[in-house]
Chains A and B, each alone.
Chain A
Amino acid sequence: MNKYYGYQGVILRVNLTERTIKKENLDLDEALKFIGGRGLGTKILMDEIDPNIDPLSIDNKLIFITGPLSGTNTPTGGRYMVVTKSPLTGTVACSNSGGYWGAELKFAGYDGIIIEGKAEKPVYLNIVDDVVEFKDATTIWGKLVGETTTILEEVHGKKSRVATIGPAGEKLSKMSSIMNERGRAAGRSGVGAVMGSKNLKAIVVRGTKKVNISDSEKLKEVFSRCITKIRENGVTGQGLPTYGSAILVNIINENGVMPTNNFQQSYFDKAEEISGETLSEKYLVKKEPCFRCPIACGRYCKVDDIEGSGPEYETVWGFGSDCGISDLGAIIKANYWCNEYGIDTISVSSTIAAAMELYQKGYIKKEDLDGSPELTWGNSEAIIEWTKKIGECTGLGAKMAEGSYRLCESYGVPELSMSVKKQELPAYDPRGIQGIGINYATSNRGGCHVRGYMISPEILGLPQSLDRFSIEGKAEWTKIFQDFTAGIDSVGLCLFTSFALGADDYADLYNAVSGINISGNDFIEAGERIWNLERLFNLKAGIDPSQDTLPKRLLEDPIAEGPSKGCVNKLSETLPEYYKVRGWSEEGLPTEERLEVLGIKEYM
């Protein structure tokens, strides 16, 4: 039997229809080709499902997968991914979460879990090292995330880690998430609904094993070097620990690119009231790190009788300026309810913003609101109450739970949904930041910023400063960020480390842990392989390149006022260049030549 380093060498296959549990050997050659996490999960999905299936049907599979560095002594080595076909976008979904659950799964002895089929009645899984059991979940079905977690911790012990859906996932909301440790989220793309469609409420894990390290001495040395870089970097060593990600509010707003009132404006004159500085002053209780994390960007905040993890920048933006809200306390409450119901803060807030524009323009009428708070810009009660209604999937809330695209489409105005491939855009106006626009349009899971965080060079000046108004070189940069990110998402570390670390650092960590010998360039090439595999899945699923676009507003309506006044996103010029640097055809299709070089021609 091969000894594994980094990887545990075991994938759990759980069939909910037949109530069977199998332990399968991890194919190391496959693992090394796709690294793990996002890459390996996508490969398994590609091999095992027909990309054309209905995501909420019994044929979809739900894959929880860690990276080789998850659960090891590497900075932030604890992340896991949830890979499946998304009910929101119809693309491959890979939703990333931190906290401690992913590391615990490795300690139990598993690299990942493949969930197939559908349980007859609600169940949850309990995993304690080699023992994996089905448990009845009928008494916890319907409960909020916090209460569910408390109950399961009482039954199985506080050392167990719980990943669970809330009522929204049970009701198949396309914006539902999978939550771990109450406040960490595999948030985007409706992965919670896939779990709910299988009648799976939660997975509880407790592990006492170790992860084998190939070269402990080398790892200590590389770890030390990386920690120093992280501590000395301004973002990871100072900004994020002190203020959390919400520090971005003032930065983005001062550049005049903070979407306001559903992207109708791009500057919010009350930004200071919802800023990271104000959050620290008024509501912060403590900061929260994930497993082995030296950054500790997590926030734990309190307002009135509500307290919990978050809010992050995207949440503050979405429930803040995007809805015209200047009441940070209300934003914190809306975030809390998102965590409790198990729904994605970006999609929910953006959908409420779309609903506010529909109300502003008379498509949604007062009588449609069933007495709930009016969907008017700046109405604090509205963001709290409508979040709950979406979480409960009641009345108009049920319609909203389908996401902003389907909501707006039902009124005949899909162009009012600020989304790409039906997934809501995050907190940066691409009219004033050309590169992030390319990423939004081409991300394999729809509207997303983390897939290729061009904000880093274009706004923060890291690793170097790029002119956000210029299109020069942006296609090339976007590709590099996208490939690099795919590698990080696959190896098990947190994306925030990339403010401080480079490709060679990730390669060195991966080498020391798993006993292989790759370079920084190999690492990025693996990322490119993974990116192309995702693209192929999407093409087979019927997501054609015409969907590599942005909402009409962002292509045609110039920003009305502020520092970025007069700008639109020039995607028509950057997209052809992007296809070229990717080595794809003019139509945006991966070519046989490129796939051959990447070693995935068989997936064409």
Chain B
Amino acid sequence: MHIPDGFLNNNLAGVLLAGALGMLGYCFSKVFKAVTVFAGTSAGNNGNTNTRFNSFGFSKGVDKYFQKLAIIALWVFAFQMFNIPVQSATSVHLIGGVFAAVLIGPFLGFITISSVLVIQSLFSDGGIIALGANIFNMAFIGSFASYYIYKILSRNYYIAILLACFFSVLIASLSCLVELGISGTISFTTAFKDMMKLHLAAAFLETIITLILLKTFKNLIGDINE
């Protein structure tokens, strides 16, 4: 779903890039707050108040926390490289927003997926000018929409993950289509059905891979805040 340069008009791409940078700045401020103020709500621990950094020293705690964040980013990057073939000579890959947001909350999830997208743009997987649009579609919608869907339905873990994956992928693809429609690249109404149909397989695979990754992460790393 990475939009290359040229698909979007420069004005829209510029606005989305500025918005993405602003949002990244805001999320970083949340991270600073979470790690420098021990009391209060952390940006990335799903609302738990105890970041536990003070239990074994600030520097060591921050280092450990960032190691875990890096591991999440590395896993998402590796899985986004793995394109899985689906119907009619098309392939899909993980977005990873639900995986990141469920583990570390929407703000850090946004930073994590954005960091992956930034590195991917160096590999021309997604454009440089279109980076803002890609961050909006995959990092912002992927983290925030999925996190709140997951929270609302969190009574049943599997249904929450299923619907968070399902809706985050479909909303992200819808957002991508709207951006292409505004840019005059494609007619929204004509392409809507095909776009949704193609992304149903992506949503299905997102659910399966997310469940496997969450289970594996919990087995290997445990709780992100420990």
**A-B interaction:** no
Binding site for A on B (CB under 8 A): none
